[in-house]
Chain A
Amino acid sequence: MSHISPVIWQFLVKWMTNFALFPPEASKIAPEMDALYFFMVLVSLIGLTIVILLVTSFSILYSKKRNPVATQIEGSTMLEATWTIIPLGLFLVMFVWGALVYFRVYTPPANAMNIYVVGKQWMWKAEHPGGQHEINSLHVPTGRPIQLTLISQDVFHSFSIPAFRVKREAIPGRYTSVWFEATTPGTYHLFCTQYCGTEHSHMIGDVVVLTPEDYNKWLAGSTSGASLAQNGERLFASLSCATCHNTRPDARGPSLANVYGSKLTLSSGQAITADDAYLREAILNPSQHTTQGYAPIMPTYQGQISEEGVIDLVEYIKSLDSDYRVQQTTATTTLLPEGEGKASKAPEGQGSGKAGSGTGMVQQ
């Protein structure tokens, strides 16, 4: 082998040992999407072959040597109709099939487990319902639909798992979602595919698919001690939300028990369903989202709570199924020493000054 250049040798070794042509199929949707993909590859190959064959055979048959004088032809409506209608028909089949796959990827089933993913320059933070946090990795069990609710804290990012054939943009200021059901345990690539600045190509990680047993072990070993809803409860207390949202008859804010999923009428008369996106907006931009019958007195929390904090609050509100739960939180608030909770528990340190004035407004 000494006469082969080491560079070429290394290249050949790599070629033989580490060379992929098609990504693994590790989710339920992957084979469905691949079926469509291969159908389209097949149609394309047939189309390309027809064009190449025609061009080649005409070039041979009607070269100037063989056919010195051209025969002038105007066109042919029949032929032209054929090559208009057949491609159109095939494209329409692809359109319908593609739309079906698309709707499946972006319509999560009702029983899906929700994991929040926050994108920021340049990392992915995943938050499991039990409070497990991970950065640039995502642990999921097989055989269970997982919904990802994505949001970005700064610029556009895109959460891509090629082995699952799913991808969704993480957008600043708006929740997006995607779901999948992993089928094969293993470690797969996680990429940010939307260009997001300097370290874009380092915003990558691993998706670790575990069997349900291993997943439970992982959950137990990675717990931070508090679920998202519990974190949210603490934040709710420290921001003194219960000053108004306290379920008392004279409360200045609406009760939040069972508000998630309910139909609300806003001051503007607009009827909406209180989903994650509404709750998020109502916290960050309350004046535009006041419930009918209440004064627009709630201060904005824009810039004072991180996206993770908002997620905690949303999860907490989602967990409130009775006035009793809210009162428990209210009781916790009164136990907190004045000022301490607000200053130290507010996640964004710079917001503490504003938080103080905000609280002042509420107490007027």
Chain B
Amino acid sequence: MSDEVTLVKLPDQSTAKLPKVSYLNKENGLLSWLLTGDHKRIAMLYLISISFFFFVGGSLAGLIRLELLTPQSDLMATDTYNKVFSMHGIIMVFFFLVPSVPATIGNFFIPMMIGAKDLALPKINLLSWYLYMAAGILALYTMASGGVDTGWTFTTPLSTHYVNTHVLTTGMAVFIAGFSSIFTGLNFIVTIHKMRAPGMTWFRLPLFVWAHYAASILMVLGTPVLAIAIVLVALERTVGIGVFDPTKGGDPLLFQHLFWFYSHPAVYIMILPGMGVISEVISTFSRKRVFGYTAVAFSSVAIAVFGFFVWAHHMFIMGISNYAVLIFSLLTMLVAVPSAIKIFNWTFTLYKGSITFETPMLYAFGFMGLFTIGGLTGVFLGTAGTDIHLTETYFIVAHFHFVMVGGMLMAFLSGLHFWWPKMTGRMYPEKISQLAAVVTFIGFNFTFFPQFILGTLGMPRRYASYPPEFQILNVFSTAGASILGVGYLLPVLYLTWSLKYGEIAGNNPWQATGLEWQVQSPPLTENFPETPIMDHEAYDYEWLERQQEKEVASVG
């Protein structure tokens, strides 16, 4: 019985052919890529560039872990170590995590999911990639010409008065990258408001689009504050305006208020698109609509709204007023709730589903486990009392990496595998990629779990050398990092291989419901041969079945 159902449902993979014309071969030559307005091509440009920056940042992480293998600073001098972790943070945060899902998968699929031909502002989209590249090249130039040692947080007065490294050029790189992010966010907001296909109401949007809408609001409203903070640092450093200088009546804490006003929402900019990916993947591979669609959609918006009012929880021990601590601690607790809602809603999406375990689903499971740990340990830091002991230690490092690497990077890899067939028209090899997902999960836990214990013991972050009793846990962490490195290298190899040798995917290899899956893979430049009309809810698997029965009937 079940076999028969499957036979009717799945299109025959062996007869699937690559379409003659697609966005990949409509035009040829390097210029056709560099001057393109097509959101799909720009997404591919972004994918190549962010992967490159990920491997630069990852190599720096490798150097950090190697240095920490022994208690002494013997691999690098302390100055070099400081530059290495600063550049690791700057590259990973501004050049990988912030653009990762939105600029690649979001760029590629938001127009397709809402039934549009492109983003609302295609030229702005291309401009934002050029800004990103200019900023990235500037950051690499800075690194090559001596680097910067302020940490990714540029804390004043260290960054304004006490270091003589390339603060200004790095600041400029981050400033420019910020505009790239603002333009991307703006483009998404306009597109989601104005370009939806007929029938595509707000509550028929895939949750991926809701998550990106929330993240875009954060990008547009938060990033300018970072730009202001950087300009003030530059002015302070060059002409000494004294905004942050206590001897001139300035306030050194003001910088941290400005910086975290962006940088706390920024972690939601990084994680929300990842949550969007997880909603799509969990639904598709359990063949069920997402449990409590409205709750998941609104929890994204709630995270975006609350996310703006928790920044001072980075400053509990810095002498801000006790009342401020109370309020910011309370608001931090409130922002933890929507994340808990999401986790449980995804879990119950599995209930009574029909679950399969392809690579994207494995990464999504990894995301759920690691993000739960990352989120719960965030509560340890949002609680004012325990924050005193745990902040500025490896506990913070572990928490942040659980959310960003365990959460966001897992979600990115999940999404990349999920949409790879649509983006390239070919399947990735299933077995080895499942192996890569498992290796990544194991390596990740080995690398970052010991750091929670190190932090509880009190080991400060950003130390090139440390007391010898912390060595054992650091050895574990470094060993885990090498496993993790393998886990990240594998996808590069087999995904590249699959571009030429992968199986032909066909239109809808996962039997997913999104509009992007109802057209050819890889898609046409204009996405849809004719404007689609949305006549059903998101994640309506029964609609999909009826569609296919109709097709089978007409062909037969």
Contact = CB atoms under 8 A, between A and B. Distances in A.
Pairing of A with B: yes
Interface of A: 11, 14-15, 18-23, 33, 36-37, 40, 43-44, 47-48, 51-52, 54-55, 58-59, 62-64, 67-76, 79-80, 83-84, 87-88, 91-92, 94-95, 97-103, 105-106, 121, 154-156, 158, 160, 162-163, 165-169, 171-174, 176, 189, 191-202, 204, 285, 288, 302-303
Interface in B49-85: 73, 78-79, 82
B286 interface: yes
A62 B286 contact: yes
Contact of A80 (B292, B326, B382): B292
Given A171-B252, A173-B252, A201-B73, A22 B457 contact: yes
Contacts of A91: 333-334, 336-337, 379
Nearest to A161: B458
Given A47-B376, A73-B351, A202-B78, A193 B316 contact: no
Contacts of A68: 2, 5-6, 354
B352 A198 contact: no
B386 to A, nearest CB: 6
Interface string B252-282: 1100000000000000000000000000000
Q: Is the interface of B mostly helix, strand, loop or mixed?
A: helix
Interface in B147-188: 149, 151, 153, 155, 157-158, 161-163
A165 B288 contact: no
B352 to A, nearest CB: 4
Interface in B412-471: 453, 456-458, 460-471
B379 A19 contact: no
A14 B158 contact: no
A31 B515 CA distance: 57
A83 B342 CA distance: 10
A302 B350 CA distance: 66
A79 B345 CA distance: 9
Contact of A193 (B294, B461, B541): B461
B158 A156 contact: yes
Given A44-B377, A51-B369, A160-B460, 10 more contacts: A11-B472, A47-B372, A55-B365, A95-B384, A158-B317, A169-B317, A176-B319, A193-B391, A195-B158, A198-B78
Contacts of A44: 373, 376-377, 379-380
B385 A70 contact: no
Interface string B226-259: 0000000000000000000011010011000000
Contacts, number: 297
26 contacts: A14-B468, A22-B456, A37-B380, A40-B380, A43-B376, A47-B372, A51-B369, A51-B372, A62-B286, A62-B351, A62-B354, A63-B356, A64-B356, A75-B295, A83-B341, A91-B333, A91-B379, A98-B329, A98-B383, A103-B322, A171-B253, A189-B458, A194-B155, A195-B82, A195-B155, A195-B462
B319 to A, nearest CB: 4
B463 A97 contact: no
B555 interface: no
A62 B372 contact: no
A20 B352 CA distance: 45
B184 to A, nearest CB: 30
Contacts of A174: 246, 319
Q: Is the interface of A mostly helix, strand, loop or mixed?
A: mixed
B352 A70 contact: yes
Contacts of A197: 82, 149, 158, 162-163
Contacts of A69: 2, 5, 354
Interface in B379-405: 379-380, 382-389, 391-393
B469 A19 contact: yes
A162 B385 contact: no
A196 B162 CA distance: 9
B355 A198 contact: no
A167 B283 CA distance: 45
Contact of A200 (B289, B294, B463): B463
Given A22-B456, A40-B379, A97 B319 contact: no
Interface in B316-372: 316-319, 322, 325-326, 329-330, 333-334, 336-337, 340-341, 343-345, 347-348, 350-357, 365, 368-369, 372
Interface of B: 2, 5-6, 73, 78-79, 82, 149, 151, 153, 155, 157-158, 161-163, 246-247, 249, 252-253, 286-289, 291-295, 316-319, 322, 325-326, 329-330, 333-334, 336-337, 340-341, 343-345, 347-348, 350-357, 365, 368-369, 372-373, 376-377, 379-380, 382-389, 391-393, 453, 456-458, 460-472, 475, 541-542
A35 B255 CA distance: 35
Contacts of B82: 195, 197-198, 200
B147 to A, nearest CB: 13
B385 A106 contact: no
A20 B354 contact: no
Contacts of A23: 456-458
A75 B357 CA distance: 23
Contact of B385 (A64, A67, A71, A101): A101
Contact of A171 (B318, B337, B391): B318
B355 A64 contact: yes
A350 to B, nearest CB: 15
B325 A75 contact: no
Given A71-B352, A194-B392, A99 B471 contact: no
Contacts of B295: 75, 80
A24 to B, nearest CB: 10
B347 A196 contact: no
Contacts of A83: 340-341, 344
Nearest to B350: A58
Given A48-B372, A70-B286, A80-B345, A201 B350 contact: no
Nearest to B288: A70
Given A23-B458, A68-B5, A198 B79 contact: yes
A171 B254 CA distance: 12
A285 B231 CA distance: 27
A84 B252 CA distance: 39
B61 to A, nearest CB: 17
A265 B206 CA distance: 63
B299 to A, nearest CB: 9
Nearest to A45: B376
Nearest to B462: A195
Contacts of B247: 173, 302-303
Contacts of A33: 385-386, 388-389
Contacts of A98: 329, 383-387
A70 B287 contact: yes
Nearest to A169: B318
A103 B383 CA distance: 12
A23 B394 CA distance: 14
Given A51-B372, A62-B353, A84-B337, A172 B157 contact: yes
B59 to A, nearest CB: 22
